[in-house]
Chain A
Amino acid sequence: MSTRSARSWWQRAAVEILSDRLALACLSLFAVFFIAALGVWAGLWGQEWGATSATIRAPVSARHWFGTNAIGQDIFARCLFSARTAFEVGLLVALLATALGALLGALGGYYSNRWPDRVAMWVMGVIDAIPFYLLVAAVAYAMRGSPFAMHIAMVACFWTTTGRLIRAEVIKLKRLSFIEAAQVIGVSEPAIIFRHILPNTVHLLLVQATISFVAAVKAEVVLSFLGLGVKDGVSWGVMIAESAHDNLAGHFNNFVAASVSLFLLVMALNLLADVIQDVLDPRRGLRL
């Protein structure tokens, strides 16, 4: 694939995504959350998420946009800070899990049915055989409550899907003539794998990264509820967990704010993953 046609393929994909109204709406929604997270990082807003006050379980007002919780903390500030937590967890896990899956999947696919591949396949089978929450719990237990136990366990769990997918794709790709040509003219094996094969799986990696991001954000919520999640700071999972008492008192602001934020971000990314998959599918590109 020459650089020029590659660029036009990406351009075409971008135009197609931007002309799809649903995709555009999802992208905008994602951008809103991302800006909210960046603002927290930059210290622009969401900093007073931990400050308590005397106004307990206040309703929605101009001062407290989403009201306050049981100990008088501003729910809107906590929601904003949680967006930062979600992006931290999601981006970290998605990047590492996708990179690991791409690397081991590509190696396994290129050397398929030789011993490195067999070992990789066995490891994937073993990891997939351990129920996710049990593995996270075991990792957290072994790491004695380290704040990164959750991230490590998620990466360890999530790379296998990407790994299998890339492995299957690489097995298909390595039989194509441009790879055979590269082998014949003596291009080194690492160069073939990383410069000629892996770039042709980018569309899969992009979709997988999006799906891993979603999985990580959703898993964080359940893990925080189980007490295995975010240790310092606040997250939508922590907010939902602490909302249990508010709910009993008939004060649903905490619960609604956190779960609606979570739902919007996850939904936008789920829909976006579908669109990316459709637009970037090279088989479909040929027909254009």
Chain B
Amino acid sequence: MRGAIDNFLSVALLILGVTLIGFLLIVYFGPDKTHELAGKNPTAAEIAEIRHQLGYDRPLPLRYARYLKELATLDFGFSDATGERVTSILKRTVPVSAALLLPGFVIGQLLALALAGVAAFNQGRILDRLIMALSVVGMSISFLVVMIAFQIAFASSYGLNWFPARGWDASTALSYLRHVAVPTLAIVFVGTGYSTRFYRSVFVEELGRDYVRTARSFGFSRPRIFVLGVLRNSLLPIMTRILYSIPMLLIGGSLVVEGYFGIPGVGKVTFDAITSGDQPVMKAVIGLTSVVLGTVMLVADRLYGFVDPRIK
């Protein structure tokens, strides 16, 4: 019980920290928006009115508290750029990002787990070295380069030209698959290298433990030991990595992929908000990211106890 309260507190502190940094950078130290919103030749009274609306006349703690209230009530007001309600923008774009990123993420993680398992099984042998060499190559190629190269190879007249070069259309299953294919390939290519190395080191450490040797001497087959023992005992670090990748992927990954392929997801909206200085949208994205991460941390904590009863 105490542990649960501690956990909740640390998550709350984390959300406070992230929102505070976001608030300071975007609103407090950010550009003054008065003149953008005021018309030509505004009177002093008009300027004062706008500054009051933006909250510039109030002290910092009060303004930060107002931001927290916006976050708690999920009401971030309206976008500066389009006038649309921020929550409705997010409702429209988050599903697009999820549909775009999830296939690549799932395939990439499964592929990395499989490759890491094969490599760890053949530790030091040629197959292991080949897989490790390929992951270093994968780690060394920029995400941007991969996207451009795949676009040329699969979606231009200089290559196979199988898929649309950019854009998004998920109205039918077929057009969804056609649009998601090239970004998915790029995500799989980029993510697999890092993950394979990570999972391999987890497996290798686990394979070196005494129980593996004991099980071998009792005549258990290696695949059986791997599935029943090694994989199960590696579940904790694997789960941690996957869970914590989700919020990073949702914003960090989508920003680059959607920016490049022109896909109207939450990353594209964030990117546009940054370039146009759309403060309400930026505030919402940073705040909600921290809430998602906090939720992930709480979920992870519950799952740990479930996977490893010693932690309970």
Interface residues of A (CB under 8 A from B): 122-123, 125-127, 129-134, 137-144, 218, 221-222, 225-228, 237, 240, 243-244, 247-248, 250, 252, 255, 259, 262-263, 266-267, 270-271, 274
Q: Which residues of B contact A142 (CB under 8 A)?
A: 24-26, 29-30
Known: A129-B18, A144-B31. A122 touches B13 (CB 8 A): yes
Q: Does B259 contact A (CB under 8 A)?
A: yes
Q: Which residues of B are in contact with A by a Cβ distance under 8 Å?
A: 10, 13-14, 17-18, 21-22, 24-26, 29-31, 136-137, 139-145, 148-149, 152, 156, 158, 247-248, 251-252, 255-256, 259-260, 270-271, 274-275, 277, 282, 285-286, 289-290, 293
- What CA separation (Å) do A234 and B42 show in the bound complex? 41
Given known contacts A141-B274, A247-B152, A134 and B289 CB-to-CB distance under 8 angstroms: yes
Complex contact B152–A134 (CB within 8 A):
no
Contact: B142 with A221, CB < 8 Å? yes
Give chain B residues whose Cβ lies under 8 Å from the Cβ of A144: 31
Interchain CB contact (< 8 A) of A130 among B29, B136, B148, B286 = B286
Point out the residues of chain A lying under 8 angstroms from B275, CB to CB.
Answer: 227
How many Å lie between the Cα of A228 and that of B259 in the bound state? Answer: 13
- A215 → B minimal CB distance (Å): 11
Residues of A within 8 A of B137 (CB): 267
B286 touching A226 by the CB < 8 A rule? no
Does A226 lie within 8 Å of B145, measured CB to CB? no
Name the CB-closest residue of A to B273. Answer: A137
Contacts of B255 in A (CB 8 A): 131, 133-134, 226
The one of B141, B274, B282, B293 that contacts A263, using a Cβ cutoff of 8 Å? B141
List chain A residues, Cβ under 8 A from B26: 138, 141-142
B148 near A131 with CB under 8 A, answer no
Tell me the bound Cα distance from A81 to B307 in angstroms.
53
Instruction: Give the 4 A-B residue pairs with the shortest CB-CB distance, closest first.
Output: A126-B17, A131-B252, A267-B140, A138-B25
The answer on a CB contact under 8 Å between B142 and A130 is: no
Partner of A134, one of B31, B260, B286: B286
Contacts A122-B13, A138-B274, A141-B277 aside, 16 further interface pairs with beta carbons under 8 A come to A123-B17, A127-B21, A129-B290, A130-B21, A131-B255, A133-B251, A133-B256, A134-B252, A141-B31, A142-B29, A222-B256, A226-B256, A226-B259, A226-B271, A259-B141, A270-B139
- Contact A218:B21 (CB < 8 A) given known A134-B251, A138-B26, A247-B148: no
Q: When the two chains form their complex, are residues B251 and A131 in contact, meaning their CB atoms are under 8 A apart?
A: yes
Contact of B247 among A131, A267, A271 (CB under 8 A): A131
The answer to whether A130 touches B140, judged by C-beta atoms less than 8 angstroms apart, is: no
Q: Which residues of A contact B285 (CB under 8 A)?
A: 134
Q: Show 28 residue pairs from A and B whose CB-CB distance is below 8 angstroms, ordered by the A residue.
A: A122-B14, A126-B18, A126-B21, A127-B21, A129-B289, A130-B289, A130-B290, A131-B248, A134-B252, A134-B285, A134-B289, A138-B22, A138-B26, A141-B30, A141-B282, A142-B25, A142-B30, A221-B145, A222-B142, A225-B260, A226-B259, A240-B145, A244-B148, A252-B152, A255-B145, A262-B145, A266-B142, A270-B140
